[in-house]
Structure 1
């Protein structure tokens, strides 16, 4: 069999098994390509002859093992491969952290233009960094900025440290801090980025099996899903520079956020590449 034939076989099996996507891929074909290419050690831009050459028994066995594991365990592909891409960069991923998927990646790749003047962003805070992917991708995109990235989970910070080692050039501009949301020291930031847990408790326990492999503390946010965002909105103005802004990713909770928080006016970004619930509020959008 060839890689092309194994991709088709995996796609059909994933569809028949009714597995759930959304952890870096959106459909059975993309998931099949990701896992087959990984098992075979193919580059992800592989084309033509490489896809149509006859595979060895060892190669076929490797593909069968990972496809079977994906179906039987329902573990997201990123956990099976320990890799995922975010904002154009590859990161190490395991069950200590969420699989990167925030549409904030689109804003990072655009260097936050036109919402902010990138050359005027000197200090950035990311709240709840997890794997460190948002902080690292932002540091790469914003070479003139210094970043702090907070995380309360020691296990997650271990993963973030693994990822930072792959980008040693960022060491002097990016630091990971164990903290509950905001750093203990008071610093003024030109940009705060937050992708906090926002899944209501009753929804979190009923999520598909794929999501049950992720750390529940990185998903669940109390009865109303606003446990962390409530504190972020309360204290963000104290940490923003006069012309600063906060960008949040709250997924499908955007309407609820608008309804619940009259103290701040978010502008919700129309995302070109899909996703929802990414909003921006400037310091002057907060009621004093």
Structure 2
């Protein structure tokens, strides 16, 4: 992508990291960008994009603030800023990097940018709901996308093998790269399947899923940044529950006797509880509250 005259002119007066940071923040606010893919504001995203582009530690800004950029570096930084502003590409797709806690994953536009509350729960090995993590033998990650939750599951439950399932072969190609990077190919199997369709006879101690859950009205109103993500990973019917309905219908067939199901559903708690008034959902606490992730035991589903 060629740098526009506007951005090219900026390179004549911007010299230091501090200069480019100020410029980026100004342009991000001016463009009214949306931040929902890792960063929460213009400043944090500008810091991350500039440091990443300059191959500097993304958590260390102060020592480099007054460092001057070479002409080549100026072009690279301005190119990233311009693409973020004019094309509204999420930062993770510009850097091909996304984080869940301390974990870093390769991402591109074949997969949704990782941002699951289930990751928080896996850091605690799903305590207190799972009391003996070493006893978990088989795990299923439905709608695995980049494979991020499958990888977290493999770390959380050291004796487990994980089936990572996705309908998209493109997503599974990204997941394969991440699984290889984490040297987990011997423990994580990647399976192309529409939810449970190709899992006949398989049973799991734990099933997790962060399926599509955005309702049709919300999909139509999504900020431009989200339009870069695969549509398959976002919308799920009129009320956002199409995928969740299939999961609830068939999960019991694939859970072991004491198996549990954990599903993230966005802002759909009220709709889900109204649709399934007899199911005893347990809503798990995450940093955003207890509205987003539910748990059910196999016996609940029966």
Normalised-by-shorter TM-score class:
over 0.9
Q: Which among 13, 19, 36 is matched to residue 5 of structure 1?
A: 19
1:56-105 residue CA offsets vs partner (Å, 9 max, x unmatched): 22222211110111010011111111111124211111111101011111
| Residue of structure 2 equivalent to 1:141 | 156
The answer for unaligned runs of 5 or more in structure 2 is: 1-14
| Residue of structure 1 equivalent to 2:80 | 66
Q: Which among 69, 76, 99 is matched to residue 113 of structure 2?
A: 99
Cα offset, 1:258, TM superposition: 1.3
Query: Following the alignment from structure 2 to structure 1, what is the Cα–Cα distance between the partners of residues 65 and 195?
Result: 46
The answer for unaligned runs of 5 or more in structure 1 is: none
1:102-152 residue CA offsets vs partner (Å, 9 max, x unmatched): 111101111111221223322110101111111112212221111111111
Query: Following the alignment from structure 1 to structure 2, what is the Cα–Cα distance between the partners of residues 216 and 75?
Result: 15
| Residue of structure 2 equivalent to 1:266 | 281
| Residue of structure 2 equivalent to 1:36 | 50
Aligned residues of 1:103 and 1:274 also touching (Cα < 8 A): no
| Residue of structure 2 equivalent to 1:277 | 292
Partner SS state of residue 125, structure 1 = strand
Cα offset, 1:276, TM superposition: 4.8
Query: Following the alignment from structure 1 to structure 2, what is the Cα–Cα distance between the partners of residues 232 and 187?
Result: 14
Query: Following the alignment from structure 1 to structure 2, what is the Cα–Cα distance between the partners of residues 273 and 164?
Result: 28
Q: Which among 165, 175, 178 is matched to residue 150 of structure 1?
A: 165
| Residue of structure 2 equivalent to 1:226 | 241
1:152-208 residue CA offsets vs partner (Å, 9 max, x unmatched): 11111111111112122x121110111111243312211100111111223212211
Alignment coverage as a number of residue pairs: 286
| Residue of structure 1 equivalent to 2:260 | 245
Query: Following the alignment from structure 1 to structure 2, what is the Cα–Cα distance between the partners of residues 248 and 96?
Result: 22
Aligned residues of 1:35 and 1:66 also touching (Cα < 8 A): yes
Query: Following the alignment from structure 1 to structure 2, what is the Cα–Cα distance between the partners of residues 8 and 109?
Result: 36
| Residue of structure 2 equivalent to 1:160 | 175
Query: Following the alignment from structure 1 to structure 2, what is the Cα–Cα distance between the partners of residues 275 and 89?
Result: 24
Query: Following the alignment from structure 1 to structure 2, what is the Cα–Cα distance between the partners of residues 12 and 85?
Result: 25
Partner SS state of residue 68, structure 2 = coil
Query: Following the alignment from structure 1 to structure 2, what is the Cα–Cα distance between the partners of residues 178 and 34?
Result: 34
Q: Which among 108, 129, 139 is matched to residue 124 of structure 1?
A: 139
Deviates more, 1:113-122 or 1:157-166: 113-122
Asked which structure has the greater CA Rg, the reply is 2
Counterpart mapping for 1:192-207 below 5 A: 192-207=207-222
Q: 1:17 to 1:274 in 2, by over 3 A?
A: farther
Query: Following the alignment from structure 2 to structure 1, what is the Cα–Cα distance between the partners of residues 31 and 246?
Result: 41
Q: RMSD of aligned C-alpha atoms?
A: 1.7
Q: Which among 180, 192, 195 is matched to residue 181 of structure 1?
A: 195
Partner SS state of residue 51, structure 2 = helix
| Residue of structure 1 equivalent to 2:70 | 56
Partner SS state of residue 252, structure 1 = coil
Runs of 4+ with >6 A deviation? none
